[in-house]
Chains A and B, each alone.
Chain A
């Protein structure tokens, strides 16, 4: 099975560390969620792997071979991000043709079918597309390109709820028919949570979580109730965050849930990815200020 391995990548922008000693691995045939706050380093990481920019140190490998300057490896990786690499005056349908010349497995018929499904007019010029349709245009190319590794950096930016729904359904349909490695970086965690199998969380240029979604969610739970009862219950627990309103308090606990030790007046609920993410990346201390 093919895989991309990132080893000890560090990247600085004018003295600020965007990525610091990042190592991870993306396996073929899996959907990953790459999560992080603004400026955490997600886009930088994806750009380095796909050779759009270069790391200060460290390397990315595809099946053990360095990706840098390796056209064969790069032909197997597709990155969709905020930049548009097509001439602005080009029509959408011609952009599809052009893509085919770079990526021989690009499925033009499928791209046209998706355009119809999303309501994208292929006769339009790229510069005439709205923000939403600009994203849709790029998403359609990414879904039709048929490379074993597809990176989607903020694919749903500017998409309305209907189009986001259609995007996730199309992605899953495509993936179910022929699994490929798809790395989705997004801010809309709630929506992507059920779609992904593995989660990578980046915080300030470092990987802080990298595991399956299910196993990550099993590592924590939340308990709410009267503040005093919560405080005594949580005293010996590993608390990663809390919310409080009036005399009510909710604590986010990292650790295995043991239902029998929960006092009856407290309510337990499972951790969801969005909550966990917010707590992991905002820090416990900040809220106390």
Chain B
């Protein structure tokens, strides 16, 4: 799990997304244990309440579950669930941003499509 903090999002959200990334890439396998709140807090020098807030997002989404006295684990089916969630957000988080930049630079839609096809042929 690797998080490069930027200032554009609250830290708790970045923690949640960092863990999500690790689940999607398979670095954290389903049914395997993830780092504890203390480990995350110390590693990233963040307040444990912030780390907890991030983890709780994942618990609420049933991506992570807590085993009392043992720790936190990646839920079964979490990877597919996250992939679906990211796919749904893909248009907003990537395409729209790309088109906004393309508009600033004066690319037409056809030029963008041509670029995508070119990349595909590589």
CB-CB under 8 A from A218, the residues of chain B are 10
Answer yes or no: A169 CB below 8 A from chain B CBs: yes
Contact across chains for B45 and A172 when beta carbons are under 8 A apart? yes
Instruction: Kindly provide the distance from the CB of A188 to the nearest chain B CB, expressed in whole angstroms.
Output: 12
Contact across chains for A194 and B103 when beta carbons are under 8 A apart? no
CB-CB under 8 A from A175, the residues of chain B are 48
CB-CB under 8 A from B45, the residues of chain A are 165, 168-169, 172, 191, 194-195
CB-CB under 8 A from A27, the residues of chain B are none
Given A214-B12, A270-B9, A176 contacting B42 (CB threshold 8 A): yes
Interface size class of B (residues with CB under 8 A): 20 to 34
Given A177-B38, A264-B103, A265-B104, A172 contacting B10 (CB threshold 8 A): no
Given A214-B10, A270-B7, A196 contacting B38 (CB threshold 8 A): no
Contact across chains for B7 and A194 when beta carbons are under 8 A apart? no
Answer yes or no: B84 CB below 8 A from chain A CBs: no
Contact across chains for B7 and A272 when beta carbons are under 8 A apart? yes
Answer yes or no: A231 CB below 8 A from chain B CBs: no
Contact across chains for B5 and A264 when beta carbons are under 8 A apart? no
CB-CB under 8 A from A269, the residues of chain B are 7-8
A84 CA to B9 CA, complexed, in Å: 41
Nearest to A191 among chain B residues (CB) is B45
A179 CA to B37 CA, complexed, in Å: 13
Answer yes or no: B11 CB below 8 A from chain A CBs: yes
CB-CB under 8 A from B49, the residues of chain A are 197
CB-CB under 8 A from B42, the residues of chain A are 169, 172-173, 176
Answer yes or no: B44 CB below 8 A from chain A CBs: yes
The interface bits of chain B over 1-21 (1 if a CB of A lies within 8 angstroms of the residue's CB, else 0) are 000010111111000000000
Nearest to A269 among chain B residues (CB) is B8
Answer yes or no: B115 CB below 8 A from chain A CBs: no
Instruction: Kindly provide the distance from the CB of B29 to the nearest chain A CB, expressed in whole angstroms.
Output: 25
Given A194-B50, A197-B50, A172 contacting B8 (CB threshold 8 A): no
Answer yes or no: B41 CB below 8 A from chain A CBs: yes
Nearest to A168 among chain B residues (CB) is B45
The interface bits of chain A over 157-193 (1 if a CB of B lies within 8 angstroms of the residue's CB, else 0) are 0000000010011001101110100000000000100
Most chain A beta-carbon neighbours within 10 Å: one of B7, B12, B41: B7
Instruction: Kindly provide the distance from the CB of A177 to the nearest chain B CB, expressed in whole angstroms.
Output: 7
CB-CB under 8 A from A272, the residues of chain B are 7
A10 CA to B45 CA, complexed, in Å: 35
CB-CB under 8 A from B9, the residues of chain A are 270
A214 CA to B41 CA, complexed, in Å: 16
Instruction: Kindly provide the distance from the CB of B5 to the nearest chain A CB, expressed in whole angstroms.
Output: 7
Answer yes or no: A217 CB below 8 A from chain B CBs: yes
Answer yes or no: A230 CB below 8 A from chain B CBs: no
Nearest to B9 among chain A residues (CB) is A270
Contact of B11 among A169, A177, A194, A265 (CB under 8 A): A194
A196 CA to B45 CA, complexed, in Å: 10
Nearest to B45 among chain A residues (CB) is A168
Contact across chains for A172 and B47 when beta carbons are under 8 A apart? yes
29 A-B contact pairs sorted by A residue (CB < 8 Å): A168-B45, A169-B45, A172-B38, A172-B45, A172-B46, A173-B41, A173-B42, A175-B48, A176-B37, A176-B38, A176-B41, A176-B48, A179-B48, A194-B11, A194-B44, A194-B45, A194-B46, A194-B47, A195-B45, A197-B47, A197-B50, A214-B12, A217-B10, A264-B103, A269-B8, A270-B7, A270-B8, A271-B7, A272-B7
Contacts A195-B47, A270-B7 aside, 12 further interface pairs with beta carbons under 8 A come to: A31-B47, A169-B45, A172-B45, A172-B48, A173-B41, A176-B38, A176-B42, A194-B11, A194-B44, A197-B47, A214-B50, A272-B7
